[in-house]
Amino acid sequence: MYQLIEEQLAKTSPRKILYVSFDHPMLKLSSIGDIIEVYQNNIAQDDEELYLFFDEIQYANDWDRWLKTLYDSYPDYKVVATGSASPILVNKASESGVGRWTLIRIPTLSFYEYIELMQIAKPNISVQASPISLASLTKEEWTELMISLRPLQKHFHQYLLVGGFPEVALANDVPYAQKVIREDVVDKVLKRDMITLFNIRNVAELEKIFLYLCMTSGNIVVQDTIAKEIGVSRPTVANYIELLEQGNLIYSSMPAELKGKRILKSRPKIYLADAAIRNAVLMLGEEVLTDTEEMGRIIEAAIYKHIHSYYDDQLPQIGYYRDTKTEKEIDVVVSFPLKRIIIEVKYKGNTHTTEKEAIVEWANDEKTSAAILITKNAEDYGLSSQ
């Protein structure tokens, strides 16, 4: 938003630009209408082509009605509004904003965006490398692709540690990044946003549940187990998990079966919204890079977040598969109406797959467009013999 303002300042008078951050305690006493009135009467040069920037708009009373009024009454105004509680924004926008404004979801930085921000030299990749097109690459194209990407591995490890928050990524300091994530991201959401937006009364319970989810990231969540461990009711756990997802701290990955149906909705897999959040909360430093089990969790969370962001505009169902009888599992299942993509993370020394494994069975199903195996070793690339 600051960048947009900076660009506009080069083209127009500062008096035509209004910036308001509604998380300021004094501004919570004023309505958008009051602020606009003061601005129009005392600062703005005229009522045409004004640029209004509203930050953390979810804290403003009746913000959706005021945006509708501004849009309808002042067609020359340009308005940008941001908010961290996206479901609240989406719900209210769907009620009064249809056809009036565009919603843009912004997750934390992808690895590609991270290397752009850090001005790291990007490899010259001449082949199509989307999830579906990978299987069509020749052996020579695979080799070229992997050689091109190999120099980025050390940067990827740094990305997993500092995360996709632009400010801390630019600092390039792991302890500092984790401190900021704990204090400026997690604590802000848990202790301020949740209380204000969702009327949370027992923050201690919420913090304990979030810590539990951090420790078990990537595992199937059994709400009865969490309730017993924390000492709360099962409905309380279910409610807090839903609110943590609305607060953009976690993703819930729901189970699916071979036919693409979603089942067992009470047993999701939980991933942190950014892999570095877990590292920061559990205070896992650079030593985590040599811990195969921990890295498996982190990599799986990063893969899920990237897939979720990559296909966000196509609105697929993104979940996992688990057969409770045979223990067969697929980590990520991206289901479209006529096709699906399946992804398995094997961040271990032995990555051999057998015909009995679920990913092999599903790979041979006509509805599967791509079956991808993510491994630790750079030498593991190309098509599997299975």
pLDDT tens-digit series, residues 338-370: 899 999 998 876 677 777 788 888 888 888 999
125 occurs within a structural domain: yes
Q: Residue 23 — pLDDT band, cuts 50, 70, 90? A: confident
| Same domain (yes/no): 82, 138 | no
Judged by average pLDDT, the poorest of 56-70, 204-218, 259-273, 309-323 is 259-273
27 occurs within a structural domain: yes
206 occurs within a structural domain: yes
3-state secondary structure of 332: strand
- Asked if the model's pLDDT at residue 261 lies above 60, the reply is no
| Same domain (yes/no): 210, 249 | yes
| Same domain (yes/no): 116, 52 | no
Question: Please, are residues 321 and 362 in contact by the beta-carbon 8 Å criterion?
Answer: yes
Mean pLDDT of the chain: 86
375 occurs within a structural domain: no
* Cα separation, 373 vs 353, whole angstroms: 9
Average pLDDT over residues 27-46: 87
86 occurs within a structural domain: yes
Average pLDDT over residues 143-166: 90
Q: Residue 260 — pLDDT band, cuts 50, 70, 90? A: very low
Q: Residue 35 — pLDDT band, cuts 50, 70, 90? A: very high
Q: Residue 134 — pLDDT band, cuts 50, 70, 90? A: confident
Which own/partner pairs from 223-229 qualify as long-range (CB within 8 Å, at least 24 positions apart)? 223/266
Specify the number of domains making up the chain: 2
* Cα separation, 327 vs 216, whole angstroms: 18
What percentage of residues in the chain have a pLDDT greater than 70? 92
* Cα separation, 139 vs 159, whole angstroms: 29
Quick one: which of 205, 214, 224 has its CA closest to 186?
A: 214
Q: Residue 386 — pLDDT band, cuts 50, 70, 90? A: low
Range of the domain at 288: 112-301
| Same domain (yes/no): 150, 280 | yes
